[in-house]
Chains A and B, each alone.
Chain A
Amino acid sequence: MVVVRYGIEQALSDRVFRSMFEERKRVFVDLLGWDIPVLAGRYEIDQFDDDEATYIVVTDGTGEHCGSARLLRTDRPHILDTIFPYLCDDIPPAGPRVREITRFCLARRLKARERLATRNRLVSALVEHALCNGITTYTGVAEWAWFQQILAFGWQCLPLGMPSSADRGLSAMRIDISPATPGLLRQSGIFAPIHLMDLDRTAA
């Protein structure tokens, strides 16, 4: 299942989202060694996890967190414009129809095959979410090896600046989403039909 939540407060009230913050600590702090804050020794939560953040989580059959991403609004401070402005030649794309994809995370317990499947479902969910919510552009920052894979998904992707010569080739990109995007992802074998569960709207 794919679940969407809006805002940190709501997310923290939900078990699957708490396990997302735990997994983020395991991936970004323990595995990748990023210098970012950890709450209560368990949760990776930073200044961008606020009421305006959107979380998309892919779960397995038993409802456990398998993968997740955080979307940030770009009409207020986000990662590309506050932390990595030097990765963009120009002012990065921003506005009500642009979201920044951050903390793209796959659970460490997954085997190689499950990782790929989860990655594909998460990418598909991001595209569906964009199409359902009037988002036309995603931006993001990735190390070079990951950037190459993102490019190979087959969607419309453009570099925003020169890859950094340090930080394992950190690069900024924009990804344009349109009704044609699912077809492009299908052509490269990435697209997985998914059903977006919007908890807020289900509850309302």
Chain B
Amino acid sequence: MITLAEVQAFCTVARAATTPHALMQAVEEITAAMGFRYFALVHHVDLLTPGSTIVRLVSYPRDWVDAFEEGRLYAADPIHRASHTTTVGFAWSKVATLITMNPRDHAVLAAARTAGLGDGFTIPAHIPGEANGSCSFAMRDGEELEEAQLPLVQLVGSFAFEAARKIARSGIAPIPPAPQLTDRQTECVALVARGKTDWEIARILGVGVETVTQHLKDARDRYGVTKRTMLAIRALFDGAISFTDILRR
């Protein structure tokens, strides 16, 4: 069982780390102090097509890392999927309470056990405008999680992920502001996201179809995309529209 003082010390060290290597060492130490064997700090994207600000620090059994990457499990992994449904940490043994498990999910978890992973604890990291990520800590097969310290593990996971984000973005220029849409464009995009055609949007807003078409063309230009689906997704991703704009009423 670790103490809050150890967690705070870790947060300070992790913050000060300027290289992935330094952070890796700090996370390795706290992982061992918490009684875990393995950890993975990752954005949930396909790492075979990497981007510049993607977080990835992993100390998992080699067999499992290979199987994971070859199987391209980033989106399909049941643990990652479950982490998209909650903001608080969860034990892997409880994953079935968060998502509906299909046969492939069971196969993935069985393969992880075969590779030597036991139960684990995953802390989701959801930042608006960024790919989902998570920080996981795992035991060896047959070892048990120490329930009482899980809130502290949750803190460690969040701070570790934030430290990794900071390092990942330090090499690049500050995040440029997202494209700005006018109020009318935003309304049109929100309606596109709700599946409306230009004609329907024109009726809803009480304007001409050409006007709607023009608003959406201008909005696509601002995002530099050519398809309305992509426009809606980009606007949703960076917060120009929200799920409540789409799903309410």
B8 an interface residue at 8 Å Cβ cutoff?
Answer: yes
Give chain A residues whose Cβ lies under 8 Å from the Cβ of B169: 187-188
- Chain A residue nearest to B124 (CB atoms) is A148
- Chain A residue nearest to B125 (CB atoms) is A148
With contacts A113-B239, A148-B125 known, is A163 near B165, CB below 8 A?
A: no
Say whether B186 contacts A159, CB under 8 Å: no
Say whether B12 contacts A158, CB under 8 Å: yes
A92 an interface residue at 8 Å Cβ cutoff?
Answer: no
Give chain A residues whose Cβ lies under 8 Å from the Cβ of B127: 148-149, 152
Q: Which of B1-56 contact A (CB under 8 A)?
A: 4-5, 7-8, 11-12, 15
Q: Which of B67-75, B107-115, B148-156, B217-225 contacts A (4 or more CB under 8 A)?
A: B148-156
Chain A interface size, as a band, is: 20 to 34
A156 CB contact (under 8 Å) in B8, B15, B240: B15
Say whether A159 contacts B241, CB under 8 Å: no
Instruction: For the complex formed, measure the closest distance between the CB of B1 and the CB atoms of chain A, giving whole angstroms.
Output: 12
A163 CB contact (under 8 Å) in B126, B154, B240: B154
Most chain-B Cβ atoms within 10 A of its Cβ — which of A145, A147, A159?
Answer: A159
Say whether B8 contacts A159, CB under 8 Å: yes
Say whether A112 contacts B245, CB under 8 Å: yes
Give chain B residues whose Cβ lies under 8 Å from the Cβ of A111: 186, 241-242, 245
Give chain B residues whose Cβ lies under 8 Å from the Cβ of A171: 155
Say whether B239 contacts A144, CB under 8 Å: no
B77 an interface residue at 8 Å Cβ cutoff?
Answer: no
With contacts A112-B242, A154-B166, A159-B7 known, is A189 near B155, CB below 8 A?
A: no
A197 an interface residue at 8 Å Cβ cutoff?
Answer: no
Q: Which of B57-65, B170-178, B201-209 contacts A (4 or more CB under 8 A)?
A: B170-178
B88 an interface residue at 8 Å Cβ cutoff?
Answer: yes
B158 an interface residue at 8 Å Cβ cutoff?
Answer: yes
Say whether B12 contacts A169, CB under 8 Å: no
Say whether A151 contacts B245, CB under 8 Å: no
Instruction: For the complex formed, measure the closest distance between the CB of A139 and the CB atoms of chain B, giving whole angstroms.
Output: 14
Expressed in whole angstroms, the Cα–Cα distance for A9 and B26 within the complex equals 50
A144 CB contact (under 8 Å) in B7, B12, B88, B170: B88
Give chain B residues whose Cβ lies under 8 Å from the Cβ of A116: 128, 239
B159 an interface residue at 8 Å Cβ cutoff?
Answer: yes
Expressed in whole angstroms, the Cα–Cα distance for A147 and B186 within the complex equals 28
B162 an interface residue at 8 Å Cβ cutoff?
Answer: yes
Contact with A along B119-130 (1 / 0, CB 8 A): 000000111100
B8 CB contact (under 8 Å) in A152, A158, A189: A158
With contacts A111-B241, A112-B240 known, is A162 near B155, CB below 8 A?
A: yes
Say whether A187 contacts B170, CB under 8 Å: yes
- Chain B residue nearest to A169 (CB atoms) is B88
A-B contact pairs, 17 of them (CB 8 A): A89-B4, A111-B186, A111-B241, A112-B239, A112-B242, A112-B244, A145-B87, A145-B126, A149-B127, A163-B151, A163-B155, A165-B151, A187-B166, A187-B169, A187-B170, A188-B166, A189-B174
List 9 tightest A-B contacts by C-beta distance, closest first: A189-B175, A112-B242, A145-B87, A162-B151, A89-B4, A113-B240, A112-B239, A152-B127, A116-B239
